[in-house]
Amino acid sequence: MSNYLGISEEIYALGQQAEREIMPYFTRLDETCDHNTEKVLAAFAKNRVSDNLFAGTTGYGYDDHGRDTLDRIYADIFGAESALVRIGIVNGTHALSCAMFSAVKTGDTVLSVTGPAYDTLQNTITGDMCGSMKNYGIGYKQVDLKNGLPDLPAIAQAAQDTSIKLVFIQRSRGYAVRETLSCAQIGEVCNVVREVNPKAVIMVDNCYGEFVETIEPTQVGADLIAGSLIKNPGGGLAPTGGYVAGRADLVENAAYKLTAPGIGGECGCTMGQNRLLYQGLFMAPHTTAQALKTAIFCAKIMEKLGYEVSPKAEEPRHDIIQTIAFGAPEPLRRFCEGIQAGAPVDSFVTPEPWAMPGYEDEVIMAAGAFVQGASIELSADAPMREPYVCYMQGGLTYSSGKAGILLAAERIKNHQ
């Protein structure tokens, strides 16, 4: 046992006990990692990846062979017709917004079947600002979850409305206390929608879920998925960007929204970033597995300290997010302080709640990351509202993630 970080023997012992208990659950994570690594390698081989693809372009970015090949690789990995992978997508919300607008126009309706969309995406759908769907005359309806899961009979009834052209599914829990959906559950929703409204586009917010299972939503009936490269698929190396994957016509429409009609994906220089996008994708199955191991360790430690966690350590996982219900602001703050102290970057900073763009409540965020805001790196964030649930995710390596969790436990223990 080392003691470089000043962790007490009591917390170290708690960590060792927790680790002994969770080790059997790591086997299934390693098996998924092996499967997905082979899938990525096969896509790289099929598309003849060579170092000439890593050279970047400037200006318009015409004929960027590396960029266009990466699009095909993403499509192959996700079992999709086409994909759009761009550093010009600034975050997950941007990717999702481009994808949603690919399927609807004035007079159409969007149906969310997993309750309200994630906080930042609500501005795209029902916000009053210029460029929102509401501003364009696009309607919105939603079906709330029932006992934390999709209400299939209610979805079947709501989706019969012929004005509904886009059915939206949020895979991860966002800032809600609910279960993350498995690809199998997403497939059930897709089947229900297809029966009553076969022309509707089914889109999945895939953020935090890539490479957690051996399949993706596009392989169980979804027409379109979207996500961020500074989450799972960037493997901790992508400096920015996002992706959209699915039906070719929808991906092309999303590209028009990203750039301009008639230009689409033909433009968009990569400025020397291709190598990081390729290497990050190659690392993504392994990095995602490391984040999942960190999450399981967090669940077991925090449960031993008396807090309610979801998922529990022994439960199957469908994204990298771990929630801890603190019930009060002070232990939540202490947890975030410990996570920050265990970061390789800005470990000396004390997180404070602030008015983060796109959120109604102040948000506290611990994120000492090499890439700003990268939630595949160890981070924790929470809206400062009851029941004071913290959302922990990431961990480039299990060892460093474990150290961050132990520091968080130390901070909480010292202030109980």
pLDDT in tens, 277-312: 999 999 999 999 999 999 999 999 999 999 999 999
Give per-residue pLDDT as tens, 65-91: 999 999 999 999 999 999 999 999 999
The whole-number pLDDT of residue 360 equals 79
Contact residues for 371 (Cβ-Cβ < 8 A; gap 6+):
230, 234, 236, 238, 239, 240, 377
Q: Band of the pLDDT at 119, cuts 50, 70, 90? A: confident
Mean of pLDDT values over 141-162: 96
Mean of pLDDT values over 336-342: 96
pTM of the model: 0.96
Cβ atoms of 404 and 342 within 8 Å: the answer is yes
pLDDT of 1 above 60: no
Mean pLDDT, all residues of the chain:
96
pLDDT of 357 above 90: no
Give per-residue pLDDT as tens, 205-258: 999 999 999 999 999 999 999 999 999 999 999 999 999 999 999 999 999 999
Q: Band of the pLDDT at 414, cuts 50, 70, 90? A: confident
**Domains located in the chain, CATH noted:** 9-36+285-414 (3.90.1150.60), 38-280 (3.40.640.10)
The whole-number pLDDT of residue 361 equals 85
